[in-house]
């Protein structure tokens, strides 16, 4: 028996906070995470007796939008349910949620098939991965317990924040795809503008269910639910850990002892620990919320589902697919260039402008060459330079026209790539147009013949080259010095160093 005889059966339960102006059932502002504790609260979200919840229409629309993006069918008849349990962060003693009729059901999300980084727990798959969405429903968030010294304090600012809960089918076979799915979910929420879905800030929270079974077996074995997953990385790690833990139980033939249970991920020890045996829905004594009237989605004056559907932007998976097919990009490039709507628009506008401004007569595959080269420059260099300068793409100072200007220089073949990178950096630094920087000239001259200078330094110093090759590596400084002297200081020492190393390695 080995690990490869088993497959993991993984499902996710995800909560995403909606960034509406107001809370789910009251008029309190919904930015409590930025405000002092217990200041964005009222009688409703504190659960005072006799108060009446009024649903937030925007939150309902956004939940429908999210469910539509996940290809769910939308339930036209809607009501809320009470989920009863006792905890200090839940002042009413129940959470207003949806049980029988979620906003959406039976959806799915495709994930672009990717070369996975982890070698274990996964079978190579040629086709894209389809993850079923069991349901998406709307509910209110609980307050936040803050543990300080030996006390627990409660901040009710979060109480009543609108949440969508998304439950997937147990369709993941690999922890890595679970992570990728969550990242895609975050991106969809951002594309739709309904949440920042920042996991570190608790906007997106995830519990994972996992069981193991012998390959070929259709049965579902008792699952473990893992809680306290605070980052994408911890989701993946916790699932990998749990697979190994359960595998060892199978290995010693004690699988009958596995009960359905809830475990918590401990970041420090990188292990899961049992909390309790898992509760079932019966434990919550769900019943319809009597204080909120039923909602009717057939009533177009209340909510127009068709309008919402038509307002969906092109979603990340479709955009990536299109970038692969239309521009011949690599999957890696497609992922980066769809990582925000802004980036993807910037990229496509540049390609469009280049195609309309450059004469493509007679050249074969010219469109694809332009699209690919632009993608290369954006993903390999530009986004890297921005992030090394701590500039977010949203604050990118280079206009589309400037980047078009830059790409024209790059496509002309007049200038080598290390010089192009200098132009890019200088454009970011000075805000000048790339052509202007090129015409100023001093970059141009020094680097243009750098290759020739290095070659001549090597030819003129055969003894030093021999010594270097036989191990005297500190001579590298000598070569750099000689080249800088000949270049009259107009070269970048780091680049010179790299180029000399390349040349010397060729001789080796």
Is 39 or 387 the residue whose CB approaches Zn ion more closely?
39
Is 140 or 225 the residue whose CB approaches Zn ion more closely?
140
Quick one: what does residue 450 bind among Zn ion, Mn ion, none, with the CB cut-off 5 to 8 Å set by partner type? none
Applying CB under 5 A, the site for Mn ion has a residue count of 1
Residues 149, 221: contact at Cβ < 8 Å? Answer: no
Q: 499 exposed, middle or buried (CB, 10 Å; 0-12, 13-18, 19+)?
A: buried
Binding site for Zn ion (CB under 5 A): 26, 28, 42, 44-45
Contacts with 273 (C-beta within 8 Å, 6 or more apart), sequence order? 263, 264, 266
Burial letters 102-118, b for 16+ CB under 10 A, else e: bbbbebebbbbeeebee
Give the x/- contact pattern for Mn ion in 164-183, rule: CB under 5 A.
-x------------------
Quick one: what does residue 138 bind among Zn ion, Mn ion, none, with the CB cut-off 5 to 8 Å set by partner type? none
Quick one: what does residue 45 bind among Mn ion, Zn ion, none, with the CB cut-off 5 to 8 Å set by partner type? Zn ion
Instruction: Kindly state the smallest distance separating residue 169's Cβ from Mn ion, in Å.
Output: 17
Instruction: Kindly state the smallest distance separating residue 16's Cβ from Zn ion, in Å.
Output: 20
Examine residue 134 and tell whether it contacts Mn ion (CB under 5 A): no
Contacts with 34 (C-beta within 8 Å, 6 or more apart), sequence order? none
Q: Which of 453, 438, 456 lies closest to 489, judged by CA? A: 453
Quick one: what does residue 333 bind among Mn ion, Zn ion, none, with the CB cut-off 5 to 8 Å set by partner type? none
Stretches 158-166, 238-246, 262-270, 330-338: which one binds Mn ion (CB under 5 A)? 158-166
Instruction: Kindly state the smallest distance separating residue 137's Cβ from Mn ion, in Å.
Output: 8
Stretches 40-48, 125-133, 163-171, 355-363: which one binds Mn ion (CB under 5 A)? 163-171
Contacts with 36 (C-beta within 8 Å, 6 or more apart), sequence order? none
Residue 199 CA to residue 197 CA, distance in Å, equals 6
Stretches 56-64, 162-170, 296-304, 309-317: which one binds Mn ion (CB under 5 A)? 162-170
Residues 194, 66: contact at Cβ < 8 Å? Answer: yes
Is 23 or 186 the residue whose CB approaches Zn ion more closely?
23
Instruction: Kindly state the smallest distance separating residue 234's Cβ from Mn ion, in Å.
Output: 19
78 - beta bridge partners? 295
Is 45 or 210 the residue whose CB approaches Zn ion more closely?
45
Contacts with 207 (C-beta within 8 Å, 6 or more apart), sequence order? 12, 13, 225, 226, 227, 229
Residue 46 CA to residue 52 CA, distance in Å, equals 11
Residue 169 CA to residue 186 CA, distance in Å, equals 18
Quick one: what does residue 336 bind among Mn ion, Zn ion, none, with the CB cut-off 5 to 8 Å set by partner type? none
Half-sphere exposure of 213 toward its Cβ, with a 13 Å CA cutoff? 16
Is 165 or 225 the residue whose CB approaches Mn ion more closely?
165
Instruction: Kindly state the smallest distance separating residue 15's Cβ from Mn ion, in Å.
Output: 6
Report the alpha-carbon angle 161-163-168, nearest 5.
165
Helix axes 462-469, 450-460, angle to 10 degrees: 90
Residues 166, 155: contact at Cβ < 8 Å? Answer: no
Structure tokens at 470: 């036989």
Is 26 or 185 the residue whose CB approaches Zn ion more closely?
26
Instruction: Kindly state the smallest distance separating residue 205's Cβ from Zn ion, in Å.
Output: 21
Quick one: what does residue 44 bind among Mn ion, Zn ion, none, with the CB cut-off 5 to 8 Å set by partner type? Zn ion
Quick one: what does residue 26 bind among Zn ion, Mn ion, none, with the CB cut-off 5 to 8 Å set by partner type? Zn ion
Residues in the chain: 508
Quick one: what does residue 375 bind among Zn ion, Mn ion, none, with the CB cut-off 5 to 8 Å set by partner type? none
Quick one: what does residue 165 bind among Mn ion, Zn ion, none, with the CB cut-off 5 to 8 Å set by partner type? Mn ion
Is 26 or 131 the residue whose CB approaches Zn ion more closely?
26
94 - beta bridge partners? 84
Is 134 or 165 the residue whose CB approaches Mn ion more closely?
165
Is 283 or 357 the residue whose CB approaches Mn ion more closely?
283
Instruction: Kindly state the smallest distance separating residue 198's Cβ from Zn ion, in Å.
Output: 23
Residues contributing to the site for Mn ion (CB under 5 A): 165
């Amino acid at each position: 028996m080995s690990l490869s005889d088993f497959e993991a059966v993984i499902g996710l339960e995800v909560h995403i906070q909606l960034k509406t102006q107001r809370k789910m059932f009251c008029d309190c502002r919904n930015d409590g995470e930025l405000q002092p504790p217990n200041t964005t609260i009222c009688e409703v979200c504190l659960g005072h007796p006799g108060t009446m919840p009024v649903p937030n229409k925007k939150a309902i629309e956004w939940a429908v939008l999210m469910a539509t993006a996940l290809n769910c069918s939308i339930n036209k008849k809607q009501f809320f349910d009470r989920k009863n349990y006792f905890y200090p962060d839940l002042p009413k003693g129940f959470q207003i949620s949806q049980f029988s009729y979620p906003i959406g059901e039976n959806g799915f999300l495709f994930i672009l098939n990717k070369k996975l980084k982890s070698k274990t727990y996964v079978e190579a798959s040629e086709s894209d991965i389809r993850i079923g969405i069991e349901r998406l429903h709307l509910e209110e968030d609980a307050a936040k317990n803050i543990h300080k010294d030996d006390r627990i304090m409660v901040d009710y600012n979060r109480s009543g924040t609108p949440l969508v809960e998304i439950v997937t089918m147990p369709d993941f076979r690999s922890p890595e795809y679970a992570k990728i799915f969550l990242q895609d979910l975050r991106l969809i929420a951002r594309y739709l503008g309904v949440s920042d879905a920042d996991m570190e800030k608790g906007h997106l929270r995830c519990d994972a269910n996992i069981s193991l079974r012998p390959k070929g077996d259709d049965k579902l074995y008792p699952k473990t639910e893992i809680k306290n997953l605070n980052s994408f990385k911890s989701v993946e790690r916790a699932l990998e850990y749990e697979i190994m833990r359960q595998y060892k139980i199978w290995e010693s033939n004690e699988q009958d002892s596995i009960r359905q249970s809830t475990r918590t991920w401990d970041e420090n020890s990188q292990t899961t620990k049992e909390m309790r045996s898992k509760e079932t829905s019966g434990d919550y004594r769900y019943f319809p919320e009597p204080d909120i009237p039923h909602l009717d989605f057939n009533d177009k004056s209340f909510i127009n589902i068709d309008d919402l559907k038509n307002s969906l932007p092109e979603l990340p998976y479709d955009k990536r697919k299109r970038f692969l097919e239309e521009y011949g990009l690599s999957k890696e490039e497609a992922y980066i260039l769809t990582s925000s709507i802004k980036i993807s628009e910037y990229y496509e506008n540049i390609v469009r402008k280049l195609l309309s401004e450059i004469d493509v007569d007679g050249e074969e595959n010219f469109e694809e060459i332009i699209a690919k080269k632009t993608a290369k420059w954006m993903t390999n260099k530009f986004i890297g330079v921005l992030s090394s300068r701590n500039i977010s793409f949203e604050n990118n100072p280079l206009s589309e026209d400037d980047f078009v200007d830059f790409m024209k220089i790059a496509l002309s073949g007049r200038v080598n790539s290390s010089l192009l990178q200098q132009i890019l950096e200088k454009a970011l630094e000075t805000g000048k147009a790339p052509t202007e920087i090129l015409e100023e000239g001093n970059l141009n001259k020094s680097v243009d013949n750098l290759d020739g200078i290095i070659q001549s330094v090597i030819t003129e110093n055969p003894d030093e080259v021999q010594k270097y090759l036989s191990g005297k590596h500190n001579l590298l400084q000598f070569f750099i010095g000689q080249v800088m002297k000949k270049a009259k200081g107009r070269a970048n020492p780091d680049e010179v160093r790299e180029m000399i190393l390349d040349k010397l390695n060729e001789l080796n």
